[in-house]
Structure 1
Amino acid sequence: MTRQRSSINNLIWGIVGNVATSVIAIMIPRLFIVSYGSEVNGLLSSVRQIYFYLALLEVGIGDAAVVALYGPIAKQDHSSVNAIMAATNYYYKRIGVIYGFSVLAMGLLYPLLLDTAIPYTVCCLVILLQGSGSVINYMVQGKYNMLLRVDNRNYVTTNLGTVTSILTDLCRIALLLHGYSIVAVQTTYLVFNLVKMLYISYYIRKHYQWLDLSVKPNLKAVSKSKFVFVHQISSLIFSHTDVLILTFVCGLKTVSIYSMYATIYGMVDNVITITSNSVQSALGQVFHSDRKRYMELQEAFEVYYLALVFSLLAIASIFILPFMALYTQGADINYVDWKLPVLFGLYQLLNYGRASSSQIITFAGAFKETQWRAILETAINFGVSLVCVFRFGIYGVLFGTIAALVYRANDMILYANRRVMKRSAWPTYRRWILNFGLFLLLVAGFTHLPLKLDNYLSLFLHAIWISVLVVTAFFGINTLVEKTARKTAWFYVRGILDKLRRTRQPV
């Protein structure tokens, strides 16, 4: 299968999977709030953040393995791939054992630190069940996910994740509606993680018969993991520290409010991440085999990636407050606050606006060279959040995240363009200014329209036509302005159309 065909499969199945899972998953938080209260919803969000931090035990092995695999996969060097995969397997099994003991310790100790009316036993079991899936992942399927990711077969794990997520959520909804305990509801995670483990193992045996993990491991190939680890800490700090600080400073109900907005924006995040991941392995292989061609592709990717990011976040910013008012109606606390979409929107724009530059740094393997920058980002985030949360509450932690991203987004753009690609960073900044200006214009314009959004049907109908206009505006203006990117994109689109035309012709 060609890189182009695989990238298209990754994108199509990723978006289909995201839509399917989002439609069902959006029901879950409301059911938790209504059935168990905001405190239980806050507990689940808090526990998820803890496990994101426990993922640091992986110490960058996965990402280091991905970077090491790009070259051998592009050259179909199975011998080198086996050695790198053997090293990844060696480390992942050790991590799995440590992670298992950590999950047990978390289940026993973390409930003692919480100021909550939820019984200790319930908290303990929820934590253990929540962490069981990651133990399985490290012990069995994690290394295979890395291989599929580099080999441009993300659609395999995406489709599997879609099916198991839908089945998991349907089971959770059924249990919630029939009044089962939160422990019974969380058990579904364990069951369907076992299903995923069995299928991935079967798929690898069938499609990668040449894979041999018994060869001598190439431990040197993943030696950059210690530098990747620093970057993972930085990523976790700005993504997940907010909830932990709010847990201990403001309480679980405030965590529930934060997590609701994070969930809505998270659905947008999923589409953006899927789009990026669908072409990442193809771009990574080209980066290591044809740098001139990569520069052309990267230009086109950045233009249309930014158009997608700004258009989706503009749509989310327009409709999040009317949706939140309907969605949390009857809740035990107020979830509607106009300041939160402003802060969350800026946070997401800065985060994803830097992604194309971050991708370049990753392909170059410049983890050691940029680690002090990641440490500085972490310090800014944690320091500002900790100072501001006591005065500004939920807004304070977002101030910290935004402050760190203002620094790091600019740093990544400058480093990727000047140090790695040896070119000016102005084109990236120019695209940012163009899209941000259009973002402000469209969000301000549509939010002030006298739209009747007092039920889900009217919200959905208005969202359709406004979304079409917003997406058309961003992609249309970027296509008009960016001549080089337009030509590169049209070359590949025309190739896809020609292939489709040939396949439909009678033999």
Structure 2
Amino acid sequence: MRSKLAFKNMTANLLLQVIVFLSGIILPRFILEAYGSSVNGMITSVNQFLTYLGLAEAGVGTATVVALYNPLALKRTDEVNSILSASRRFYNRSGMLFLGLVLVLVYVYPFLISQQLDNGLVRGMILVLAGSTLVDYFFLGKYRVLLTANQEGYVVALIQSAGTVVNMVVSILLIYMGSSVLVVKAVATGVYMLRLFLVKAYAKRRYPQLDFHAEPKENALKQKNAALLHQVVSIIVNNTDTAILTVCLGSRSLLEVSVYGTYMLVVNAVNQLMTSFSNGLTAGFGEVIAKGEDEVLKKSYSSYEYMYMVILFIVIACMGVLILPFIKVYTINLKDVEYVRPVLGALFTLIVLMQNVRIPGLTIICAAGHYKETRRQAILEAIIHLVVSLSFVWKFGMAGVLAGAVCSYGYRSCDIVLYNNKYLIKGSGKMSFIRIFRNGVAVGVLICLGIFIIPQEMTSFISWFFYAAGMGSAAVVIIVAVNYLAEPQEFKELLVRVKGILGKR
């Protein structure tokens, strides 16, 4: 049953990430061509600042999911309701705080971009983009954490997939009709909000015993402060680049942010794809840990990491070769700023590797709720990122900021493997580093050969897709072969596990 739910979550999350990827690639292209790089840069920048304000959530969601693992596994309904009641109260407080911070941003943000766009447009965009987060705080969050903790995150993922498709279609139609960018984003936000009703209806039917007004058990969310710290670190490490570029690069900041945002379309797509393989498994690992099934945890983790590394390094090989040709074709009609920069292509590829190679270990840390225990490492990661980025941005611009990301991700990824080995799955570290090394060597060879064979200057997506298919096929064959030859027994066990899951369907 646990494997079947994990498969459902992985499949639904994978579908969601594919749809989000397509929307994230297609829609910004229409916005770039219809409204220009400055408007695109403004939207990217505002979204990042709203992410900072999302700290108002104060770790409630993460702490609630962790707190729910044990009572859900043991079917203690009263305790579940008490935890959800506490979560509802915290979400409401967070929503009010977020709203206040958004109003401050509405006033302050136009001064940060040196009047590069009309103030009314900028302020209206902030309010529109903040709308979906407010709905999450006041209405949706409490249902989402319940479904996630009970391994039913696939329901939210499927509903969000449908909403993303409708959102993209409606937005493109409005752009073709000549609507303003503010109208386009307002309608998109409205469509996004509709998912609330579907998620709420499912949760009420699936859990008729739900009571969000039970006596709140606020001490159950004892991990929320530690989780908040990790959220702060995550935002600093993953979202500070845009803020640094916006503040430090003066009158050209929005153009540079547009370049950064365009590369991030690829980065986010890859990250979302890889995260889909962990989001569906965290709750399952949380149940295993809650029940103390150590041997099951060790074997399941090994299979998960093995599979994850194969997929990750196939993706990295393709990204390293194909990112610059993609950017060239994607921005072929844009002349207001140079988008194709080889140094950026290499740095973004390295960042994606450093970000994602930690995911298997991080999945276990999250499932175990070890937020308090890993605070110092997380703080050090943020410090490294800020110090290096701010030291280099003035001389090297965007490349200097990305160097900060590479350094911080590199440190933290190594630390997570070592922490997992010492405290959670003892003896796993050596094999993790071996898997990273052998796949890294194979990918290095693939990228060198790929860049030599595949043209880095293309003029159509048809050509790009043709070469991408060839590169993808070569990467799959070589990476799978390398890992099969290195660990044939692990490969066979993974196949048996997958067949067993599919056979139960």
TM range (shorter): over 0.9
Q: Deviations over 1:325-376 (max 9, x none)?
A: 1110121211001111211111111111011111222222222222111111
Q: 1:104 corresponds to which letter in structure 2?
A: L
Q: 1:291 aligns with which of 291, 294, 298?
A: 294
1:260 aligns to 2:265 (yes or no): no
Task: Please report the TM-score for the alignment, with normalisation by the length of structure 2.
Answer: 0.95
Identity of aligned residues (%): 29
Q: 1:326 aligns with which of 323, 326, 329?
A: 329
Q: Which moved more, 1:485-494 or 1:365-374?
A: 485-494
8 Å CA contact 2:270, 2:352 repeated in 1: no
8 Å CA contact 1:381, 1:401 repeated in 2: yes
CA–CA distance in 1 between the matches of 2:383 and 2:16? 36
CA–CA distance in 1 between the matches of 2:348 and 2:87? 36
CA–CA distance in 2 between the matches of 1:292 and 1:450? 46
Q: Which residue of 2 aligns with 1:188?
A: 187
CA–CA distance in 1 between the matches of 2:85 and 2:243? 36
1:461 aligns to 2:466 (yes or no): yes
Matches within 5 A, 1:63-212: 63-212=62-211
Q: Which residue of 1 aligns with 2:277?
A: 275
The 1:236–1:21 alpha-carbon spacing in structure 2 relative to 1, beyond 3 Å, is closer
CA–CA distance in 2 between the matches of 1:472 and 1:66? 38
CA–CA distance in 1 between the matches of 2:101 and 2:413? 33
8 Å CA contact 1:296, 1:488 repeated in 2: no
CA–CA distance in 1 between the matches of 2:201 and 2:503? 35
Q: Secondary structure at the match of 2:504?
A: helix
Q: 1:359 corresponds to which letter in structure 2?
A: T
Q: CA offset at residue 143 of structure 1?
A: 1.4
Q: Deviations over 1:202-248 (max 9, x none)?
A: 11111111111121111111111111111111111111000100011
The 1:279–1:475 alpha-carbon spacing in structure 2 relative to 1, beyond 3 Å, is farther
CA–CA distance in 2 between the matches of 1:472 and 1:7? 26
CA–CA distance in 2 between the matches of 1:481 and 1:78? 47
8 Å CA contact 1:69, 1:84 repeated in 2: yes
8 Å CA contact 1:312, 1:471 repeated in 2: no
Q: Which residue of 2 aligns with 1:442?
A: 446
Q: Which residue of 2 aligns with 1:503?
A: none
Matches within 5 A, 1:355-434: 355-423=359-427, 425-434=429-438
Q: CA offset at residue 490 of structure 1?
A: 3.0
8 Å CA contact 1:144, 1:204 repeated in 2: yes
8 Å CA contact 1:39, 1:252 repeated in 2: yes
Q: 2:497 corresponds to which letter in structure 1?
A: Y
- Aligned-residue Cα RMSD (Å) equals 1.6
The 1:359–1:498 alpha-carbon spacing in structure 2 relative to 1, beyond 3 Å, is closer
The 1:65–1:318 alpha-carbon spacing in structure 2 relative to 1, beyond 3 Å, is same
CA–CA distance in 1 between the matches of 2:66 and 2:286? 8
Q: CA offset at residue 438 of structure 1?
A: 1.0
Q: Deviations over 1:276-309 (max 9, x none)?
A: 1122211221122211101100011011111111
Q: Which moved more, 1:85-94 or 1:174-183?
A: 174-183
8 Å CA contact 2:283, 2:367 repeated in 1: no
Q: Which residue of 1 aligns with 2:38?
A: 39
Matches within 5 A, 1:222-237: 222-237=221-236
Q: Secondary structure at the match of 2:209?
A: coil
Q: Deviations over 1:356-402 (max 9, x none)?
A: 11122222222222211111111110011001000000001111111
Q: Which moved more, 1:125-134 or 1:314-323?
A: 314-323
CA–CA distance in 1 between the matches of 2:258 and 2:423? 42
1:473 aligns to 2:473 (yes or no): no
Q: Which moved more, 1:110-119 or 1:383-392?
A: 110-119
Q: Which residue of 2 aligns with 1:4?
A: 3
Q: 2:296 corresponds to which letter in structure 1?
A: R
The 1:476–1:223 alpha-carbon spacing in structure 2 relative to 1, beyond 3 Å, is same
Q: Which moved more, 1:45-54 or 1:68-77?
A: 68-77
Q: Which residue of 1 aligns with 2:240?
A: 241
1:347 aligns to 2:351 (yes or no): yes
Q: CA offset at residue 484 of structure 1?
A: 5.0
Q: Secondary structure at the match of 1:335?
A: coil
8 Å CA contact 2:106, 2:126 repeated in 1: yes
Report the number of matched residues: 499
Task: Please report the TM-score for the alignment, with normalisation by the length of structure 1.
Answer: 0.95
Q: Secondary structure at the match of 2:341?
A: coil
Q: CA offset at residue 149 of structure 1?
A: 1.0
1:308 aligns to 2:311 (yes or no): yes
Is there any run of 5+ residues in structure 1 with no aligned partner, and where? Answer: 501-507
CA–CA distance in 2 between the matches of 1:162 and 1:128? 24
Q: 1:283 corresponds to which letter in structure 2?
A: F
Q: CA offset at residue 23 of structure 1?
A: 2.7
The 1:193–1:28 alpha-carbon spacing in structure 2 relative to 1, beyond 3 Å, is closer
Q: CA offset at residue 12 of structure 1?
A: 2.1
Q: Secondary structure at the match of 1:26?
A: helix
8 Å CA contact 2:52, 2:235 repeated in 1: yes
Q: CA offset at residue 497 of structure 1?
A: 4.8
Is there any run of 5+ residues in structure 2 with no aligned partner, and where? Answer: none
CA–CA distance in 2 between the matches of 1:268 and 1:480? 26
Q: Deviations over 1:145-203 (max 9, x none)?
A: 11111111121111111111111111211111222111111102331133111111111
CA–CA distance in 2 between the matches of 1:84 and 1:488? 38
8 Å CA contact 2:171, 2:188 repeated in 1: no
Q: Deviations over 1:118-143 (max 9, x none)?
A: 11110000000000110110000111
